[in-house]
Amino acid sequence: MKSIWTLLSWGSEGWLDEIAYGVFVTVSLAAATLPFGLLIGFFVAVAKQSSEPSLRLAGNIYTTIFRGLPELVTLFLVYYGAQIGIQALIRTIQPGATVDINSFISGMVALGVVFSAYVSEVFLSAFRAIPRGQYEGGYAIGLTKGQTMRLVVLPQLIRIALPGLANLWLILLKDTALVSAIGLNDILRWTGVAARVEREPFVFYSFAILIYLVLTIISSFGINKIERSVGEREPAR
């Protein structure tokens, strides 16, 4: 029977090589999903506060759907549903053709749309916290709507929304564990494989918990540094 240190070592006897790769996949997936979700969430928030009723309705429907569906269901819908839809489309052009959807891209899209639905609510609250006079002041000095948004509103929006977005990042980091269900070799998948092969579930799942805690602690330090940096710049405006 192998010792814990052998199981969690590098090389052919241990599983640390594979688990380290899983950490890389997990962090890469979260990092790729973050800008994707922030961008969509921002535009959904803009739509939800638009004066155009159809845009507000579309934004509300979007957030209602993706906040209401379990993340795992959304993941399966994107991974399997998109594959079926794309194959059906391709077969209208080339009968018999098949297509495989990359699990990393599927995970990024699925987590991104769920993440963006929550991000939109954070941005919407931040938009509402900015006085209307800020917009009017920008227009009064000759700025266009785009310039007012970029130069006046966005800096305040980021400062107000940052605590909420930081919490959502930590949730996103943990939600990446769901992608193991579609075969992506993340932390949870590799520790699960190792646990089954070595019949040491407590060792490997405890190690997975430790890794997620370390990632969360590192993220928390980074978030605190960003918040301090934003806070220090704000009085100088």
For residue range 197-220, what is the model confidence (pLDDT) as tens digits?
989 999 999 999 999 999 999 999
Q: Residue 71 and residue 77: Cα distance in Å, rounded? A: 10
Q: What does the pLDDT average to over 44-62?
A: 92
Sequence-distant (≥ 6) Cβ neighbours of residue 187 within 8 angstroms: 19, 22, 23, 25, 26, 177, 208, 211, 212
Categorize the per-residue pLDDT at 234 as very low, low, confident or very high, splitting at 50, 70 and 90: low
> pLDDT tens digit string along 91-124?
777 777 676 778 899 999 999 999 999 999 999 9
Residue 84 has pLDDT above 90, yes or no: no
Local structure of 130: helix, strand or coil: coil
Helices 103-129 and 154-175 cross at an angle (nearest 10°) of: 140
For the chain, the average pLDDT equals 88
- Residue 59 neighbours by CB under 8 Å, 6+ apart: 44, 45, 47, 48, 50, 120
Q: How confident is the model at residue 233 (pLDDT cuts 50, 70, 90)?
A: low
Name the band, by pLDDT with cuts 50, 70 and 90, for residue 37: very high
Whole-angstrom distance, CA of residue 35 vs CA of residue 42:
10
> Given this model, what pLDDT does residue 74 score?
93
CB under 8 Å to 105, separation ≥6 — which residues?
none
pTM (global) more than 0.75: yes
**pLDDT at residue 70 tops 60:** yes
